[in-house]
Amino acid sequence: MPGALSGLKVVDLSRVLAGPLCAQMLADHGADVVKVEQPAGDETRHLGPPFDERGDAAYFAAVNRGKRAITLDLSKAEGRAVLEALLAGADVLVENFLPGTLERWGLGYDDVLSVRHPRLILCSITGFGADGPMGGLPGYDAVLQAMCGLMSINGTPESGPTRVGVPIVDYVTGYNALVGILLALTARQQTGKGQRVDVALFDTALSLLVPHAANWLCSGLTPGRLGSAHPNIAPYDKFRAGDGELFLGIVNDGQFQRFCRRVAREDLMEDPRFQTNAARLQHRDALRKEIERTLVSFAVEDICRDLMQSGVPAGAVNSVPQAFAQPHVAHRQMLVEQGGHRAPGIPVKLSRTPGKPGRPPPRRGQHSEEILTELFGSKGGKR
Return the pLDDT at 383.
44
Q: What is the pLDDT of residue 318?
A: 97
229 falls within a domain: no
Give the pLDDT confidence of 216-264 residue by residue, as tens digits. Answer: 999 999 999 999 999 999 999 999 999 999 999 999 999 999 999 999 9
The CATH number that applies at residue 286 is: 3.30.1540.10
In a shared domain, residues 151 and 190: yes
Name the percent of the chain lying above pLDDT 70. Answer: 98
pLDDT for position 340: 79
216 located within any domain: no
**Residue 215: inside a domain:** no
pLDDT of 28-66, one tens digit each?
A: 999 999 999 999 999 999 999 999 988 999 999 999 999
56 vs 320: CA distance, rounded Å: 22
How far is the C-alpha of 34 from the C-alpha of 23, rounded, in Å? 9
pLDDT per residue as tens digits for the range 258-291: 999 999 999 999 999 999 999 999 999 999 999 9
Mean pLDDT over each residue of the chain, to the nearest integer: 95
Confidence (pLDDT) at 176 = 98
Structurally, the chain folds into a number of domains equal to: 2
Task: Give the CATH number for residue 187.
Answer: 3.40.50.10540
Q: Does the residue 225 lie in any domain?
A: no
120, amino acid identity: L
Domain shared by 131 and 241, yes or no: no
381: pLDDT strictly greater than 60: no
Asked if the structure places residue 342 within a domain, the reply is: no
User: Is 60 exceeded by the pLDDT of residue 382?
Assistant: no
Give me the domain span that covers residue 242: 236-317
pLDDT band at 378 (very low <50, low <70, confident <90, very high): low
Give residue 195's pLDDT band: very low, low, confident or very high (50, 70, 90). Answer: very high
| Residues in CB range of 102: below 8 A, 6 or more apart | 95, 108, 109, 113
**What's the pLDDT tens digit per position in 322-360?**
999 999 999 999 999 887 789 999 999 999 999 999 899
State mean pLDDT over 200-229: 97
Do residues 310 and 367 share a domain?
no
Tell whether 129 and 272 lie within a shared domain.
no
C-alpha span between 250 and 307 (Å, rounded): 11
Residues 289 and 183 in one domain: no
Instruction: Identify whether residues 53 and 134 lie together within a single domain.
Output: yes
Q: Residue 135 in contact with residue 129, Cβ under 8 Å?
A: yes
Residue 53 falls inside a structural domain: yes
The verdict on 273 and 353 lying in the same domain is no
Question: Do 289 and 198 lie in a common domain?
Answer: no
Same domain, 189 and 246: no
With respect to residue 324, please indicate whether it lies within any of the assigned structural domains: no
Phi, psi of 67 (to 5 degrees): -110, 155
What is the rounded CA–CA span in Å between residue 364 and residue 303?
Answer: 49
| Residue 59 sits in the same domain as residue 195 | yes
Distance CA 256, CA 261 (A): 9
Tell whether 123 and 201 lie within a shared domain: yes
Q: What is the largest CA-CA distance in the chain?
A: 81
State the catalytic residues: 170
- Cα–Cα dist 24/18, whole Å: 10
Question: Is pLDDT of 201 > 60?
Answer: yes
Per-residue pLDDT, 1: 77
**Are 202 and 248 found together in one domain?**
no
Give the pLDDT confidence of 97-132 residue by residue, as tens digits: 999 999 999 999 999 999 999 999 999 999 999 999
Q: Is the residue at 326 inside a domain?
A: no
The rounded percent of the chain whose pLDDT value lies above 90 is 95
- The number of C-alpha atoms within 13 Å of 152 and in the hemisphere containing its C-beta is 14
Q: What is the reported pLDDT for 267?
A: 97
